[in-house]
Structure 1
Amino acid sequence: MRRDRKIVWHPAGMAAIAGKRVIVVGGTGGIGRAISRLLASHGADVTVVGRRFRDADRPGIAFVPADLGLMGEARRVAEELPAGNADILIFTTGIFAAPHRQMTTDGIERDLAVSYLNRFVMLRSLAPRLGRDRRDAAFRPRIFVMGYPGTGAAGDPGDLNAERRYTALGAHKNTIAGNEMLVINLARRFPGIGSFGLNPGLIRTDIRGNLLGENSLRHRIVETLIGLLAPDADSYARRIAPLLLSPDLERFNGAMFDRKARAILPTAALTPDHIDRFMAASERLAQPWLEGASSPRL
């Protein structure tokens, strides 16, 4: 990643989050859970989406259950979420591709489904509605897409579902590139919304379980080593939270930020033509779950 030194921002105090309505897709574990808990502790009204809720005792956090590996579930929950009243929408859910190709019951490569395509499907419904019913017109609603932007991954729109050739790295690059392109495309198509990419880098979570074997000895050893060398999810949440409400972001729609909340340059290979082809490939793959949707294309 290369720093983008033209973008300078100043943090908003945590008091600014009080009363804000936040939706965290993937907020039941890892980084998403850490962000949700931190924002709720400072007075935000947080709705989390995921498979298992572990914060029922925490005030300020509501739960919407969903299996985000299934596109029908992604569409259903997107249509049910109170996006019109939301100030901030954060996508954090994700996994790593497995050594051998895994498919969901929808026929989608699992990493692509969980880490990217559900976001594409959900944003078809969420982006046009986000924040339109809020009373606070002074704060432009914001979308934050977590992935690994700025790392050079361009993805392959000709083999988005990794059907012709599968490698774990190649499949994961499609999700990395897809999420970065979502941010750029959202900033272009929805200028009334602030859209930003987040690259947390190496953080100790369970995200690598699908690659290393869930709860395997190798998985536990790797995460222990990462914990010695890198920040944990709570530390990352504390570092990134002041960015979420910074008034300076109004001037930098489409910007990307690393784990220290420093602006980074986007991937050079993501030209407008490449983004259009990748979005079109995503549209074709997700079409069975978008039929009947009246919202504009992404």
Structure 2
Amino acid sequence: MADWTFSDIPSQRGRSAIVTGTGGLGYETALALARAGGEIILAGRNGKKGAASVAQIKAAVPGADIRFEELDLASLVSVRSFGDRMRQQRQSLDLLINNAGVMTPPTRQVTSDGFELQFGTNYLGHFALTAHLLPLLVKGDGPRVVNLSSLAHRSGKIHFDDLQWQKTYKPWPAYSQSKLAMLMFAFELQRRSDAAGWGLMSNAAHPGYARTELIANGPGANGLLSRIGMLLQPLASHSAADGSLPTLFAATSPAATGSGYYGPNWFYELKGSPEPAKVMPQAKDTAAAARLWEVSERLTGVGFDTVE
């Protein structure tokens, strides 16, 4: 996969995709899939921003098959409503890219359901969304689910005794937990798909140090990037478009695999072409992943074996 780039994306004609997040990585991912001929639903909570992103993509790709749909991952009601609409409108879905997220609000905030904002939006919202879309995905053509993780997963820990950070809120550890959860979810979804015969390929990606609205989807204020310093950040980072390449590889490449994890190939996986990324031991803990899955079903009220 040396120097895998946009020109290596296979034709997506006849394939359908839902991408969460209307700016940054979500926008660039949708743009690339549209250029490859796919049918794209760009999902986000801001209708004005979503419409603008769709208009931009249509201007760049005349005839692009793309539209916006409202989805607020910080609201389980919104997630359920989106899933209901999709199941009413569609017969199948080939690709789900769980991309959208929030990063390190300085003070603890909660979703409409009372979850800590990062855990609730980045992880639980996507967990519930995937469950609601599973009936469409199992009817898809070579269906794939791609979860966006982060370099931050390396310092992450699942705090089962305080998942919502009610005792002591710390922005970066909370973000790291949410991104570790996304990676564990990707691996556990593959295991459960294999066991149940759903036929999914579930994998994950991270963008390295991509210059997006989230600033750095990376190791956090106490990690390597903070020590590099502002002067070296242009050297150590890459554009949102280049940051989308690991996601696009996971979503489209014939070389991508179930339970794969992909990131940039430069130093510390900060930038560069996609390659298999480093997975920390805590992300491989199958007992913790099964426990997290069960807790997530209880918190969201959604079961993968009961969604109609």
Q: What's the TM-score once normalised by structure 2's chain length?
A: 0.77
Does 1 or 2 have the higher relative contact order (CA < 8 Å, sep 6+)? 1
Q: Are 2:250 and 2:262, in contact at CA under 8 Å, matched by a contact in 1?
A: no
Q: Are 1:10 and 1:246, in contact at CA under 8 Å, matched by a contact in 2?
A: no
Q: Are 1:204 and 1:223, in contact at CA under 8 Å, matched by a contact in 2?
A: no
Cα offsets for 1:33-89 (capped at 9, x unmatched): 011012112211111101231134313211101222112111211232256422211
Pairing 1:80–2:85 present: yes
Q: Are 1:9 and 1:246, in contact at CA under 8 Å, matched by a contact in 2?
A: no
The aligned residue for residue 225 of structure 2 is none
Pick aligned residue for 2:119 from 112, 117, 135: 112
1:244 Cα offset (Å):
2.7
Pairing 1:153–2:156 present: yes
The aligned residue for residue 218 of structure 1 is none
Pick aligned residue for 1:178 from 164, 181, 192: 181
Q: Are 1:90 and 1:145, in contact at CA under 8 Å, matched by a contact in 2?
A: yes
Cα offsets for 1:173-192 (capped at 9, x unmatched): 22011101110111001131
The aligned residue for residue 217 of structure 1 is none
Q: Compared with structure 1, are the counterparts of its residues 224 and 88 closer, same or farther at alpha carbon in structure 2 (3 Å cutoff)? A: farther
Aligned residue identity for 1:124: A
Name the Cα RMSD after superposition.
Answer: 3.0
The aligned residue for residue 241 of structure 1 is 248
- The answer to which of 17-26 and 117-126 deviates more is 17-26
Pick aligned residue for 2:41 from 41, 47, 51: 47
Q: Are 1:204 and 1:227, in contact at CA under 8 Å, matched by a contact in 2?
A: no
Aligned residue identity for 1:33: Y
The aligned residue for residue 277 of structure 1 is 291
Instruction: Identify unmatched segments of 5+ residues in structure 1.
Output: 1-6, 210-221
Structure 2 Cα separation of the partners of residues 267 and 84 of structure 1: 38
Identity %: 23
Q: How many residues align?
A: 268
The aligned residue for residue 165 of structure 2 is 162
Aligned residue identity for 2:306: S
Q: Are 1:84 and 1:130, in contact at CA under 8 Å, matched by a contact in 2?
A: no
The aligned residue for residue 307 of structure 2 is 295
Q: Are 2:54 and 2:66, in contact at CA under 8 Å, matched by a contact in 1?
A: yes
Q: Compared with structure 1, are the counterparts of its residues 223 and 30 closer, same or farther at alpha carbon in structure 2 (3 Å cutoff)? A: farther
The aligned residue for residue 216 of structure 1 is none
The aligned residue for residue 21 of structure 1 is 16
